[in-house]
Structure 1
Amino acid sequence: MSTRQVSDSNDPLIESRDQLVAPMQKGEKPREAWRIGTEHEKFVYRTADHAAPSYDEPGGIRDLLMALTEFGWEPVMEGGKVIAMSGPDGAVSLEPAGQLELSGAPLESLHETCAETGRHLAQVKTIGDRFGLAYLGLGLWPDKARGDLPIMPKGRYEIMLRHMPRVGTMGLDMMLRTCTIQTNLDYASEADMAQKFRVSLALQPLATALFANSPFLEGKPNGFLSYRSHIWSDTDPARTGMLPFVFEDGFGYERYVDYMLDVPMYFVFRDGKYIDAAGQSFRDFLDGKLPALPGEKPRKSDWIDHLSTAFPEVRLKSFLEMRGADGGPWNRICALPAFWVGLLYDQGALDAAWDLVKDWDMEGREILRASVPKLGLDAPLPGGGTLRDIAGRVLDIARSGLAARGRLNAAGDNETGYLLPLDEIVASGKTPAERLLDLYHGAWGGDLSKVYAAKSF
């Protein structure tokens, strides 16, 4: 989740609707300026007992963050506490229970993305070896109850933790017990954004299936392949889901602004502190009638903050965020951006992907989204068949898109090799979660503690 660093009294007031549309319009870039941003989270645990370390304990999360200064990272403070690190590779930040996230820099190629990931993992593993910490690459804590987990000292999390139980049964699980991989991508125009949004939203369930990696909860199988994805089904219906309006004629920036104005607020950031505005209306804020700040009107930064508080399967800010994948190992961190860059950054591939999904009806899309956390590649497609029937074809489209980009590394290899982990999943017919379940019921003999040795970075 976003880390806010400063508030600026010179930040302009929002006085027209044009200012609400502006962040999306300013995201438009020519093709040569398109970049790849990759975010990935991992669980931190103590090697001695597999417990999640607290923020303040010696060798805990605070010390882990501050040790990154050895590699050139600079601390980001909130309320006198370090809550993130900033550096040339982006930002290292904390999820609510201490999950460690790298929000990578915008990069030109997947080769750079994988090099960035490698640098980050090498750094945190070096620090972890010193402090007795290690990192687990799954989409869900496999053996932790909510009460087993610490809370990080970030103001927005305090507000969200209070609000989540009011609007859904699993919002606290989303905050405390999940990890994800995300990809952030650019667009050239409003029309290009709309086509990319539709394709990525329609195919997000396929990404969920290919990256499904959360079949355990509190020490035993939970009946799902991606329980992390299932959690979103009852987190907060006002800010999650498949966004049917994206597929309607005329969809563009204005319609997304309308959606965001209907998403209830969480907070307002003033003078270095988060003010609780949970459940209140940004429309009221525009009219100077926000109960949390009576008489005040929003500033540009308030709208930017608000754009980060919706959690649909694909999110629009000044770029598009792909949000469907569980956390996982190093090679799948590289595979997710490869999947989406291949589909979305070459016009021929984008058109081919749209041809594949354009006739799906909304009811079918919703059924697919609801089915995929449990069924994975066997989730039903609109009009018949299953995800398994199109997975190989979609990967072929992505491969063609990556080949057309022609981005080579020093060895002369293009970017298609980063799809190999997904090719293997499709060829075997087994998602990562199904492989984990096979181990649990087979070689591990029901001993889930063995997941730490098997799935740590």
Structure 2
Amino acid sequence: MARDTSDTTPLTSRAELIDWFAQGEKPTERFAIGTEHEKIPFYRANHAPVPYEGERGIRALLEGLSRETGWAPIEDAGKVIGLAADEGGAISIEPGGQFELSGAPLPDVHATARELDEHLAATKRVADPLGIGFLDLGMSPKWRREETPVMPKSRYRIMASYMPKVGTLGLDMMLRTATVQVNVDFRSEPDMVRKMRASLALQPVATALFANSPFTDGRPNGFLSRRSEIWRDTDADRTGMLPQAFEDGFGYEAYVDWLLDVPMYFVKRGDTYHDVSGASFRDLMAGKLAQLPREFATVSDWANHASTVFPEVRLKRFLEMRGADVGGPGMIAAQAAFWTGILYDEGSLDAALDLVSGWTEKTRQCARATAPRLGLATQVAGRSLGAIAAEALAISRRGLQARARRDAEGRDETIHLQPLEAIVASGETHAERRLADYEGPWKRSVEPAFEACVF
């Protein structure tokens, strides 16, 4: 989860809220790729979760990584809860201790893969002496919710109090899931809309391709991507497939109007998070917020509010792809490659929009509802999601070939699609392979996952 911003510039009009998104526009030559991934820590000796405090806890891990990398600590109420790099990257902790790298904006997928390798190597140097490993699964396979440690971040306390009021699985989302997200740029409002529509429609494809969370509470949970299913019962006000994105006239203004209708979580003043859960941002703009009378909205309030909605594709000053479970390093780079090839080449973006052009809102919603359970076998408009994934991968490959960004060995970015192409060729996701392991060599136990499913 992104670091909260601190810009006290007042906001006085709806037009300024719209302009905040427009300020994210970039010329094509400055387009970058940002990749964020979470990984679930555990103690290698006994497969127990890692608490925040203690000589071998999350705090010790963060402090050690700060010394290792030179990244500056980020604190909340005197506790280290993340690290920030001068060049734009950051490390944060999710509510259940999930360790997240928010990568810097980088020019190509090769650079993303290098950044990931460097991060994992540095983390390993610090984590190994502490006896800490990291799962590459999209959900913790063993620990019950009440066994999962809670991290000391103020915004998480507010969210954890609010979540049970609006859904039954929000705390599972916070404490027990792990994802990988890719951030992409847009050059104009029409470009944003085209990319939003293509990527929203194709998020169920990503959910299926990256499905990797089949275990909960020590046994199969009936899904290939339980993480994705959990989001369907977290908070309907701030999640989902954004059907309004496909309506005529959609753009920044319509997104702002939707965001204004989403209840707030908090208002940050200085180092203090004020719980205003359920309140209206419109009231904050008018100075009429019941919890903070005569306080008025600032740019940081709007940026922070924009970070507390969780649709399958989220608009900030970039577009964030949110449909995938985390996997190993190759799958993280593959997610970046998949969306880069589709969204950063005009011909590929046209082809992707053509691929989904006949889908109705009902089609998209059915795909979203079914993909977590059936994965590539999901039926969409008379075709399997596997067949659609194969076509989407071919579109992405053409886009990456057209970009012609080469590494030191002369290879273009298509090399990073290979794990996904293998999944489509076999018809078997990582979740299905791990379920087969569970029934076979794992002897119906998830304990071997702590050896087999690690970074």
Q: What TM-score comes out, normalization by structure 1 length? A: 0.98
**CA 1:126 to 1:89, structure 2 compared with 1: closer, same or farther past 3 Å?**
farther
Who is 2:72 aligned against? Answer: 74
Is 1:392 the counterpart of 2:390 in the alignment?
A: yes
Distance of 2:88 and 2:207 partners within structure 1 = 26
Who is 2:149 aligned against? Answer: 150
- Give the drift of 1:3: 2.0
- Give the drift of 1:89: 6.1
Structure 1 stretch displaced more, 18-27 or 59-68: 18-27
- Give the drift of 1:17: 1.5
Aligned-partner residue type, residue 384 of structure 1: G
* Paired residue secondary structure (1:234): coil
Distance of 1:390 and 1:98 partners within structure 2 = 35
Distance of 1:239 and 1:92 partners within structure 2 = 25
* Paired residue secondary structure (2:273): strand
Is 1:169 the counterpart of 2:168 in the alignment?
A: yes
Q: What TM-score comes out, normalization by structure 2 length? A: 0.98
Distance of 1:186 and 1:3 partners within structure 2 = 19
Aligned-partner residue type, residue 429 of structure 2: T
Is 1:62 the counterpart of 2:54 in the alignment?
A: no
CA offsets 1:258-281 (integer angstroms, 9 cap, x no match): 010011100000120100011111
Distance of 1:226 and 1:39 partners within structure 2 = 18
**CA 1:324 to 1:348, structure 2 compared with 1: closer, same or farther past 3 Å?**
same
Who is 2:27 aligned against? Answer: 30
* Paired residue secondary structure (1:184): strand
Listed as ranges, the matches of 1:113-192 within 5 Å are: 113-192=112-191
Count of aligned pairs between the two proteins: 453
- Give the drift of 1:109: 0.8
Checking the alignment, whether the CA contact within 8 Å between 2:33 and 2:107 is kept in structure 1 is: yes
- Give the drift of 1:327: 1.0
Gaps of 5+ in 1: none
* Paired residue secondary structure (1:92): strand
Who is 1:439 aligned against? Answer: 437
Structure 1 stretch displaced more, 96-105 or 12-21: 12-21
Listed as ranges, the matches of 1:65-104 within 5 Å are: 65-68=62-65, 69-87=67-85, 88=87, 90-104=89-103
Gaps of 5+ in 2: none
Distance of 2:110 and 2:258 partners within structure 1 = 36
* Paired residue secondary structure (2:277): coil
Distance of 1:359 and 1:56 partners within structure 2 = 53
- Give the drift of 1:435: 0.5
Who is 1:402 aligned against? Answer: 400
Distance of 1:427 and 1:352 partners within structure 2 = 21
Checking the alignment, whether the CA contact within 8 Å between 1:89 and 1:116 is kept in structure 2 is: no
Checking the alignment, whether the CA contact within 8 Å between 2:42 and 2:50 is kept in structure 1 is: yes
Distance of 2:68 and 2:436 partners within structure 1 = 41
Is 1:422 the counterpart of 2:420 in the alignment?
A: yes
Who is 1:109 aligned against? Answer: 108
- Give the drift of 1:149: 0.9
Aligned-partner residue type, residue 242 of structure 2: L
* Paired residue secondary structure (2:224): coil
- Give the drift of 1:283: 1.4
- Give the drift of 1:23: 2.1
- Give the drift of 1:19: 1.1
* Paired residue secondary structure (2:303): helix
* Paired residue secondary structure (2:84): strand
The runs of 4+ residues in structure 1 deviating greater than 3 Å are none
Is 1:13 the counterpart of 2:10 in the alignment?
A: yes
- Give the drift of 1:214: 0.3
Checking the alignment, whether the CA contact within 8 Å between 1:343 and 1:353 is kept in structure 2 is: yes
Distance of 2:313 and 2:88 partners within structure 1 = 24
Listed as ranges, the matches of 1:191-202 within 5 Å are: 191-202=190-201
Aligned-partner residue type, residue 61 of structure 2: L
- Give the drift of 1:18: 1.8
Who is 2:42 aligned against? Answer: 45
Checking the alignment, whether the CA contact within 8 Å between 2:404 and 2:412 is kept in structure 1 is: yes
CA offsets 1:387-438 (integer angstroms, 9 cap, x no match): 0121111100000000100101111110000000000000000011000001
* Paired residue secondary structure (2:41): strand
Who is 1:3 aligned against? Answer: 3
Aligned-partner residue type, residue 97 of structure 1: G
CA offsets 1:292-342 (integer angstroms, 9 cap, x no match): 211221111100000000000000000000000001111001000100000
